[in-house]
Chain A
């Protein structure tokens, strides 16, 4: 009995030590004894997200199945003040493009880029122009840039992926093209052009 009591007291001491152990941290919060965090000061969790759990002093011992800490979300491109002006230039460029004036259209899309270099849409149009000029590698370069900035917009991403599919098809890279058309359809099930291309390539 004496040994049982001693064992219980040791158990209780260990429990107490464990409860007073290292504090849990919020994401990105530095530990008091370590250097400041090396990443993402500009990426706090979104306000809608519940804060990470904080330890309670009398919390029972952690369970082995404890999950990793909650993480902040990736931040996509934020709209720029230059976007409306860029959009107007793109409208003018699109008119030239539809009229078949590729040089004038390219000039206007470049102007749209100058106004807002991180807007993805001018890259898409420049990709379309390069593709029409049969400059496929260049087209793919522009379309990758478009993807980088437009990936949160399903409609535009579907257009970009479809255009990538067309370019890859022109390059005889049929499996890659199929994948792009399928991705375009996944992004926007209403993209009939992608659907037609897939059908033409023998995919239901």
Chain B
């Protein structure tokens, strides 16, 4: 097109030359000039039309589609408030503050506001979607035990439960790391639009997209070397430049910009243009992520929804537009303050502020919220969520379609997990770093066993240093953490019509022992090198006796153990003797899955990360279900849990109590060969947690599970269970209790030196009274 136009001009010049007479007659000159004018006009018209149609095509196409590629957002699980919940008032206030709710004195707060009243906390939940029906403000009342009432302030009715707004964990970005919170024009405070118009384009509401006065003023100021309060580009021009053009300073780009601005003004109202502009503009960086739009900038700088910002805060935001990095209030507070005051002055000059208001606001100190560079509160978890989503959605959809991904993660628990793991690994380093010259690694996963919800997920010590997720991808030996599977297989024999029945009171002899198996010999040893002689299965598990467990495994059957192991989720388990001591590889994810069965009355629950996926409009695209499968009899699961309670009350897990965790809990320590892995797995009736510690290169950590992993577990569980109701493990039907002599496993009599209450699957309880401690008379005459 351009070439054709140039050729046309050349041809015209040749014709003009031909027309110009050698005699220089004035009439012929005029004719020639007129001809030239007509040609230029035609050319200009062609150019203009071409420019118009090409620009119109671009603008119209853009306005018909989504204006921004918005990343998907991953949300944490929304806390559920309910009557009777053991929750402190301070927790609720802190949670609302964390979600940028603003404090107010109104008894019926506005959206994203809360009020601390005499009779409780009133707040008004934000709607995540524009299409969502109105959410009424609520009043949460407290007594000494926690929440006493939840009242709908508008309807005055009581609510059984109320789901809070979920917190954002992270966003899923593609190649463009732009974060943007879309704001509608009616949500923008008037003083913000006034500030922006005052400093960027005073005649915004008067011009038609191009402000010729401003251009002339800018040129004059430029020539005269004067300081300019505002440039020559209008807001509409800036908007189209950001949307469609490059920043190159060429005439063709400027012409396109002007044409597009003119077209835009004919397609959109002024308010719509301003809304787009304020959502589009770049306003700084947060780590690798760029902050675009006043909605996102307001959250970053003031921790406020933009509708709640003050006049000086509006002025600060408006001032940032010209040079976001130069006027960055964190890096250059003096320049930012000065620019803010300039905007306030402009507002006064345009009549948006009175003299008094200006004097008042210009004295207000510039306050911004401390900078928080963290853009992902659970990076390992986010990776798992992302990889699961990629199985179902296209990359482009995830990165650009603003999906809302509601997950199971509890952000409080996640924070406790991070703190506990970090502190625990630091303690290990204090003891081990000098020898190993490397930092210990670890991971922690916490699950609600009944639903399989993952509540906390830390795949390693530092995501920035290593993105390798040790929970789902590491292969480590489970060691003694696998022993409960051996004992579960033994207890299950009661239902399998086997000739030999095992109970927690079954006696097994812990002594030096050699197994000859498939032309090989295997001689398991206890970790402490001690042997305990005759003991019950309960005690053998509590003290994590290797020889006793290995002998039990041979009695129970390796195929049966491997079979149950597979059902529980240990994919690589095979039927050979050393599986009894966990000599094969598993991931912490698998360990967690398996233990849900014990914690959940024999029912396996698949671990869940995502609860629901919704589109940008709030329409549900996918809802994940609780997946359950019966694996063990409930009686087996209950008795095994009871045996693992003994691990904590008086076995290898006893430090749990010494460290101050007092709730009913069951657990198992795990230490592998040469102390390469240290595990602790434990659960209360409503929370299960797996902790692994070790080194990535398999260097021995030289600590037991009780020494390295257990303290992390305790630190986490103490905090994580504080808002959960305290409950005990409840027994299913078909479990009976009998008093037995722990030395013989038989029914205790009054002559036994000690008697303990033991639990049995109904029908497997011993029937014979203790023969060893019968009375002298019984021995003589019986």
Contact = CB atoms under 8 A, between A and B. Distances in A.
Contacts of B747: 68-69
Nearest to B620: A103
Contacts of B80: 111, 114-115
Nearest to B773: A22
B600 interface: yes
Contacts of A61: 775, 777
B542 interface: yes
Interface in B455-504: none
A181 to B, nearest CB: 18
Interface string A62-99: 10101011111111111011111111110000000000
A169 interface: no
A18 interface: yes
A145 B600 contact: yes
B64 to A, nearest CB: 33
Interface residues of B, number: 75
A103 B623 contact: yes
B402 interface: no
Nearest to B782: A64
Contacts of B756: 28, 37-40
Interface stretch (A136-144, A170-178, A195-203): A136-144
Contact of A81 (B86, B629, B733, B776): B86
A36 to B, nearest CB: 6
Interface stretch (B37-45, B332-340, B735-743): B735-743
A149 B730 contact: yes
Nearest to A43: B757
Contacts of B739: 27, 68-71
B733 A144 contact: no
Given A28-B756, A41-B649, A82 B738 contact: no
Contacts of A12: none
A53 interface: yes
Contacts of A182: none
B634 A72 contact: no
Interface in A125-162: 126, 137-138, 140-142, 144-145, 147-149, 151-152
A116 B757 CA distance: 30
A15 to B, nearest CB: 9
Nearest to B538: A38
A118 B748 contact: no
B642 interface: yes
Nearest to B743: A34
Contacts of A38: 538-539, 542, 646, 649-651, 742, 756
Contacts of A29: 755
A39 B448 contact: no
A59 to B, nearest CB: 10
A76 B727 CA distance: 11
B737 A140 contact: no
B750 to A, nearest CB: 3
Contact of B601 (A17, A21, A68, A144): A144
Nearest to A138: B628
Interface in B58-113: 80, 82-86
B781 to A, nearest CB: 7
Contacts of B773: 22
Given A37-B756, A140-B630, A42 B160 contact: no
19 contacts: A14-B776, A17-B776, A22-B773, A25-B755, A30-B754, A38-B649, A39-B756, A39-B759, A62-B750, A68-B749, A70-B739, A74-B731, A74-B735, A88-B161, A103-B623, A111-B161, A147-B732, A148-B602, A148-B638
Given A69-B749, A73-B737, A145-B601, 14 more contacts: A18-B777, A28-B756, A29-B755, A38-B542, A62-B750, A71-B757, A72-B737, A81-B86, A82-B84, A82-B725, A84-B84, A126-B626, A145-B628, A151-B733
